Amino acid sequence: MANLRVGLIGLGMMGRHHARVIREVEGIDLVAVADAYGDPHGVARGLPVLGGVEELIAAGLDMAVAAVPTGMHEEVGMALAESGVHTLVEKPIAASVPAGQRLVEAFAAKGLVGAVGHIERFNPALQSLRKRIADGELGEVYQIATRRQGPFPARIADVGVVKDLGTHDIDLTAWLAQSHFESIFAQTTTRSGRPHEDMMAATGKLKNGIITNHLVNWLSPMKERMTIVTGERGAFVADTLTADLTFYENGTVATEWDSIGAFRGVSEGNMTRLAIAKPEPLRTELEAFRDAVLGLRQNVVTMAEGQEILVVAEAVLESSRTGESVRLIAQ
């Protein structure tokens, strides 16, 4: 079988990584690249740098990756859908909920694979954690807390920290818990002088009763990517920068109230740093996209899922504006 022909539009910071990994993945060939602003990182490697999506489509593609700014996702995605090209769009799916919905409908109407690049689902620490939660290693899950902090990335100009970084945590939280957000309350602030928010603190509740907490900002001098899942048997801590997963076991699991009604609590038990394989998440994501296009398995973040994440992100922004908790429409 001939390799699938892949086009890449957007050759910025994320696009250069896509170009590298596409060339490493078996069964696909990078045949065309496009960016109206040229190729600042030199990823074309002999391919002509095309000016836009129509020229990219004219190269004859089976699938495409769109790593353009968020405000261009709808325009580029709709053109690719209309031309029958399976497409992975970097997260978030679009700049607004209506735009995201139009993309969902366009790819569904054509029977195409439409995926969104929520790469944290492919982080090996989180993949291992999700399986362990599903297997009952933690018992009942009580809370999922995330911290995603670091300096401002020069690559981002058209959205704030909620849609750029916060969508990672919204998605991975619901995915780990295998549930949906029921409600969200959030505060945001803008301290950098840019037009969009650069700091967020949010708390939520999932439909299965798990409570959530999320700290996200572009104002921290240190970079942190932590996910902490606490349950009746202890806590898992995933560092997605290093793909490390650690289990902190309860020394005691309290199951009863004592005679005077005081909770016995827990004590510190063993701490185990788990040994897991660590393939590159972007490679795993692109392999999953390839397999979905080939009809082998469906393990991508679908556009419908990406749209649901964007709906929650918009609820975060709404809550920060109104000062009220936002209840999400039943999924």
Q: State pLDDT tens for residues 88-108.
A: 999 999 999 999 999 999 999
pLDDT tens sequence across 227-254: 999 999 999 999 999 999 999 999 864 5
Confidence at 265, pLDDT banded by 50, 70, 90: low
Omega of the bond prior to 98 within 30 degrees of 0, cis?
A: no
Task: Report CA 148 to chain centroid distance, whole Å.
Answer: 12
Tens of pLDDT along 152-194? 876 656 789 999 999 999 999 999 999 999 999 999 999 988 8
Mean pLDDT throughout 298-303?
96
Q: Residues 18, 65: contact at Cβ < 8 Å?
A: yes
DSSP letters, 100-138, are HHHHHHHHHHHT--EEEE-GGGG-HHHHHHHHHHHTTTT
Q: Which helix (H) or strand (E) holds 280?
A: none
Query: How many other C-beta atoms can be found within 10 angstroms of the C-beta atom of residue 331?
Result: 13
Are 119 and 95 contacting, i.e. CB atoms less than 8 angstroms apart?
A: no
Bridging pattern class, strands 326-327 and 268-274: unpaired
Name the E strands within 94-140. Answer: 114-117
- Among 94, 146, 95, 92, which Cα is nearest to 119's? 92
Are 319 and 325 contacting, i.e. CB atoms less than 8 angstroms apart?
Answer: yes
